[in-house]
Structure formats: structure tokens, C-alpha cells
Structure 1
């Protein structure tokens, strides 16, 4: 029974059992063959079984090259890769780092690692040496897969730390083993029929380390177990009724280090849907090319990326009518953005999605939820809203508080960081650091990040609220509000505004809009900055740390 602050919730999202029945049947076959009850949580064995079911099914397409690969080929190559990893001495619990674009080779070491119980750490492929050092120090990888152009930085970071991981490049190079030679020379002595996945304890073995440094400081690696991930898998697909192949074609527009990309790399093999990805960067132009040519049906992406795609004057170049489901998440999703997307996707269900690396999967489910809502409670979680000032539970609707969660799928902690783990997990409850409120119908609405709330003379200001007002200006494409420190007042809000193409923004108009809409304590006392673009992380989220640095030195009007 799902609860909210200890009280049973009368309205829990549960659309149908199709995804659960599908996983149950698949894992029942596994356990029946092996006699090992824990195999129902062995994600690698689940993928092996599923790939064998339909070898001719087209699993992945590289939209940049037009190349595709079916399940039979992926199965053969991933088994070769697993054999090779075993020869290199990798075993259950070892960490393997992946840093590469989404070409057709990327999935192969992912599946191979899952067969062996290896921990996968996908990271930003553009990180500099000092950033690689930070992550290598935490994750202590035994193997690294990267492009040859990044090899020098990988080797330098490893040398500084005095670690010696096995490094394999996906493309040709002359310093280390390349991927094609690795499969040929290390993986060919065991056939698919004779290959056996490794046995290990899914409840204690880490499946993924997801980097959560994001925008604010030193990296942390959120660790999720094989068991937690296996339990979570069917919940993302509860809205769908046909399995296998719940949707025709899923396009991946986020890099691998974002959890939603991980969902789709694993989910495509388990639930048997075709995955459209690209070995080229996903720019607006390239996304339009992919959509127009391949007509994908499903997509998860960030609000910033979605804003770019629906830019008036540009969006007319693309046919969005193919989409049936679009989830927008990773940061605050405005009601205005949802409405703009619905204008160009008449057949699609468009939702504001909410999840985090520490929760393993999406935290709310979607049905007939109002625009701007992140959804209603899922049967997978228990929920609380906590007053950040008093620490007391909030029971009433329409009162904001910090969201806290309890679930069997929560992350097990930050890898090699007990202090950060203790600060985030309290008596089994995950402190999300996000402010939400719920309405009378149990629809939950995101307010802001607790750490991003500004305080002006003891009055709290939500940047998201101010941004929502500014987005109403007809010339505004995107906006972010941050604060500059003031010794007497605390934080002075600054609006960083990106105009729509061909439009001009007058800063005073932005100030007047806020003045005429919000109370005096929420005014833009720090000024307005007109920018050509906002700084983004590799996962297309707003890079607040960089923006904060820009704001401190930029001309504010």
C-alpha cells in the first residue's frame, strides 16, 4: 500500500499489469532453467534471454549513418565482449567506465558487463583531465571504454592517480587495444550457445554508478543494485499494454550518463523496442533530421532541449506528428512548455517527468494529470512532504515541503562516500532536496530545488516561480533566475533571458512584468541580463554554477 506521511493514499497510479506480467513471465523462464531464485533480479540474464527470443528484431539504429543491428548480432557481439572482459580479469563488482557517443558499439559492453555482474559507470565523454581524476578516484575503474580522441586525457588522469585500468578505444588507435580487435582476439573462443553468465548476489552487487555532480560541485556516484534496478524496470512502462514492443521506436537524445538514456539502452533489450540513437551530437538540426526521417514514437528529454526544438520559426522545419509519448524532465518543466509541445504533437501524451539518480526510476506515474503536474503517486514509493523550517510532516494539500521517499528501489548510497550518503538517507528515507506540493486530487507539482531557493530579507523566493512569469513575455525563448549575494538583504534575484530568434528584449519590460505580477519581495533587484544562450551541462540541464559565475561579472540592467 502506498502511503503519504504514514496515511494510505486513496489514489495510486496503476494503469495496467501488462509490463509486470511480461517481466514475470520472462524471469520465470530464467528461474525455471537455472533453479536460482535470484535470477529474477539478474538484469544480464534477463537481457540474454530476451535477445535470444527474436534474433531478427532490429534493436538499434544509428541515425547518423543509417546503420542498424538486430538482436542476433547484438547477442553475438555482447557475448564476445563478455568473454573478452573475463579474459582481462574483470569480475562481478568491478567498475567499468563508458565515455563515448551513442554509436552502435556502445550497447555491446553495457550488455556484456551486465552478464558478468560488472558495475557500469557512464560518464560525460568530454570531461577534462582534472574532472576525470575526480571520477576515477571515486569509482576506481578496472576498465575504460572511450574514443581514441580522449585516450590521452584518460591515460594522463590514470597516471596521475597511479591506477592502471584496461583501456579500450571504440575506434582505431595505435596505443591501446581497439574494440574490433578486442572482440576478435579475446572473445571468439566461447559460442553464444556455450556462454554462461556469472552468478552473483543481485541485492548487494552494484549495477550502475550514475554521476550526480551536475552543476554544483565535486562529483558523487549514486550506486544502484541489480535487484533495485530489476524491480524498477516495469514501472516506467505501466502505461503501455502491448509487450513485447510497447512502442514502435524510441529516440535517445540524451547522453549515456543521463539515467533516461540508461533506461532505454537496457529497456530496449528487455522489452524489445527499437532504439534510435546517433553517433553525432544532438543539435536542433540533427534532431529534426532524425524525427523527419525515422518518425520516432517515444522520447524523453530535458526542458532546455525541448525548448530548443519548439522554437517558433524553427519548429516548422520538423514533423512532430509521429510522437505518441513525450516525457520532459531533468529540471523544472513549465506549464507553458507543455502547452507549446502539445500544439505541435496533436496525438502525443506529453508529461512532466520527475526522477533522480538516487530514486533509480521515475517517482510519479501519469494519467489524466493537469499540465505542469509531475504525476500522481506510484505503487513503488512511499511519500512524505516535510516542512523545511520545522521538520514536521505536511498533511494538507497545497502546502509546499521537501519531498522524501522510501522504496525498495532507492539507491544504496554514494559510492565510497559514506558522509554524503548519511546526509541524504535518513532512517531509510531519501531526502530529495526538492520542494513539492500536492493538490486535493493527489497531483504533485514541483516548486523548486531546496538549495536553489533564494532568500531576500528572510522571504523565500522560488526561481522557478519568477521564471514562469518571465516566460509569459512573447519575446522570451528561455530564462533562468539566480541570485547575487548582498550583505544586507541576502539574495538579489537576477533574470538571465534568452530572446526568441528575431526578437529584441528590453530589460525594463522584464522587470515591469515581474513587478506587475509578483509581490515586492520577489522583484528583480539584481537586474536583467540578455544572453544568446544559457550555459548547459552535458545532459542539457542548466549549468547553474557557470551561470552564477557569469552573473557576478556581467553587465546587469
Structure 2
């Protein structure tokens, strides 16, 4: 009985079980939220590789992430240890990032095309304990981190004698019972580190808190009601709250150009409606549904027109 998570109030003579915790609160780690939703919808496709057409389901992605997170914990990595990710989009990158969230160890993502001097400067700020990179960048990453000599693994282009990401993906006897690590510093705990543009000097490290991630991606809390509204392509999450200057703007430009070409071919007005753009994007990228896309296009067009960008 002592092993059960119960309490007894002798005054009211009431036994109580453990307190219920809500899934979506400021104190819930983004790793826990991702873990819960991926476990709830294991067969959903979470990633589509534009280059080879390969797909990854939630079940595959979270299973890989759990195995990597267990390795992190076994090595003693914990907050505020940092994981370096100077990588291009590929099959396992998302799972490594999710593993960082699960373990509560922030990742430091940088552009892999940085020159050695810039990469040395940026990584010297956080000194990652382990770095995942593409094989083509291994020597540059190794030179940039020689001051503290972290473990370096490749995620693509395997190199003889250098550990590869697949060496971390062997099944473990405890993966079925894995639970994400709780936050150590509450909602303001740093969960990701990105880089500034570097236009006013060398790039700076920009810390993103757990709370910021939750508020930037509130669609996680709606995923249980509409699991078909999650789509992933080429390493980016396609949702209305994603940075419009990245994948969304590219899709929008591609779709607008495609529809305009069709309209001009038939002598029609080159104006492209949000409905036409929505259908074009969904058709071109094989998406069954894109969350709130019609409204997102309206907002995007309004913002661009107001700034004179269109």
C-alpha cells in the first residue's frame, strides 16, 4: 500500500489518489505534448520527404525520438546541457529534435552552410555536449568544436569510423514505458536555441522558452480533435502559426504562379483567390487537409499588401 501514490486525510477519513495533471498547461513541456499526441495517432503521416517520397508516421518518429532521448539520459545529458544541430532536413532530424524536447535538453540549430569561423563563434556560446551533422560537414563541425571536443554523429552520408544516427535507434527493453522528463525551470525553461541573422555582426544565440513554443504552436492542443490537420513536408511543420516567411510563403508563391499561369492561358484575370490557392497547395503536395489554410492565405495576403511586398 505504501508504494501507491495515495494520501489519507485522518480528519475527513478520506483516501485520495494522485492529483490529476492537465495535458496542456504552461508547466507542461512541449516534449510531453508532442509525445502524447504522437502516441494518440500513431498511424498518421508526420513527415514526407520531397526528394525520395519516403514517409514517416507518428509511431516511427516518436519511437526513434524515445530511443535517442534514452541515450541522452544514459549519457547524463540534462538541462541546461545543449545538443547541436547544424543539419539539413533529412529523415531522422525531426526525431532528434523531438528527443531533445523529451529529455528537456535544448537543441542549438544553426545553418550548416556557415563557414568554419562563424560556426566556431556560434557553437562556442553554447558548447553542445553532442552534435548531429551531415557527413559532408563533419570536418568543418569537428574543427569548429575542437575547443571542447563533443561527441559528433552523422545523420546522412555515413563516414567510416564516425558514429551514425542509426547506432542510436536500436530497440530498448524500456522504450514502451518511457515518459518525457518534466521541466526543471517551469514554463520559462529554454527548449530551443536558434540564431539571429548576423546582418549586424556575428550571429547571436536566441533562446526559445517552453512557453513560447506552446504559444507559437497552439494547434498541438487541437490535434486530438482533428488529427488529419497535421501535415509535414521537407522538414517543416505546415500550420497557420508557422513563420510565413519560410515554407508557407514558398508554397503560396508556387501555388499563385501555377494558378496564374492557368488563368492567363485561358485569358482570364490573373487575380488568384484564397480558395484557388488552397486547392492548388493541397493538390500539388498531396495534403488531405491543411489547418485553417483559407484564413491563413487571407491574413498573409493582407499583410504582404499592407507592406507593399506584393
So what's the TM-score if we normalise by structure 1? 0.42
Asked if 1:125 corresponds to 2:112, the answer is yes
Question: Any idea what the Cα deviations from partners look like across 1:421-458, whole Å, max 9, x if unmatched?
Answer: xxxxxxxxxxxxxxxxxxxxxxxx44xxxxxxxxxxxx
Q: Of 22, 25, 31, which aligns to 1:44? A: 31
State yes or no: 1:373 paired with 2:303.
yes
| Superposition pairs of residues 119-518 of structure 1, within 5 angstroms | 119-159=106-146, 162-171=147-156, 172-184=158-170, 188-192=172-176, 194-199=177-182, 200-234=184-218, 243-245=225-227, 247=229, 249-252=231-234, 261=236, 264=237, 300-302=244-246, 305=250, 309=254, 316=261, 343=272, 346-348=275-277, 371-373=301-303, 445-446=306-307
Shift of 1:227: 2.2
Structure 2 counterpart SS, 1:196: coil
Partner of 1:530: none
Higher radius of gyration, 1 or 2: 1
**In structure 2, what is the Cα distance between the partners aligned to 1:212 and 1:149?**
24
Structure number with higher relative contact order (C-alpha < 8 Å, ≥ 6 residues apart): 2
Deviates more, 1:221-230 or 1:114-123: 221-230
Q: Secondary structure at the match of 2:159?
A: coil
Contact 1:90–1:118, Cα closer than 8 Å, also in 2: yes
Between the aligned partners of 2:81 and 2:135, the Cα distance in structure 1 is 23
Deviation per CA, 1:301-331: give whole Å up to 9, x if none.
45985797479799749xxxxxxxxxxxxxx
Cα distance in 2 for partners of 1:251, 1:110 equals 16
Residue 70 in structure 1 maps to residue 57 in structure 2: yes
Cα distance change of structure 1 residues 222 and 370 upon mapping to structure 2, 3 Å threshold: closer
2:96 aligned to which of 109, 133, 158:
109
- CA root-mean-square deviation: 4.1
8 Å Cα contact 1:38/1:201 also seen in 2: no
Mapping 1:77-116, distance limit 5 Å: 77-116=64-103
Deviation, structure 1 residue 110: 0.9
Partners of 1:157 and 1:222 in 2: CA distance: 19
| 1:170 aligned counterpart, secondary structure | strand
Matches of 1:370 and 1:72 in 2, distance apart?
33
**How far, CA to CA, are the matches of 2:65 and 2:38 in structure 1?**
10
**CA deviation after TM superposition for structure 1 residue 175, in Å:** 3.5
User: Is the Cα contact below 8 Å between 1:251 and 1:299 reproduced in 2?
Assistant: no
Gaps of 5+ in 2: 1-17, 263-268, 280-294
Any conservation in 1 of the 2:81–2:105 contact (CA below 8 Å)? Answer: yes
> Partners in 2 of 1:300 and 1:110 — Cα distance?
21
Helix, strand or coil: the match of 2:83?
A: strand
How many equivalent residue pairs?
Answer: 269
1:174 counterpart SS class: coil
Deviation at 1:346, TM superposition (A): 4.5
Change (3 A) 1:372 1:214: farther
Match status 1:61 vs 2:68:
no
The 3 A distance-change label for structure 1 pair 372 and 49 is: closer
Structure-2 separation of matches of 1:311 and 1:37: 37
Label 1:248 to 1:182 Cα distance change in 2 as closer, same or farther (>3 A): closer
Shift of 1:345: 5.9
What per-residue deviation string (whole Å, max 9, x for no partner) do you get for residues 286-312 of structure 1? xxxxxxxxxxxx994459857974797
CA apart distance, 1:207: 1.0
Instruction: Report the Cα distance in structure 1 between the residues aligned to 2:24 and 2:254, rounded to whole angstroms.
Output: 46
1:114 is displaced (CA, Å) by: 0.4
Larger displacement relative to structure 2 (212-221 or 115-124): 212-221
CA distance in 2, matches of 1:85, 1:147: 19
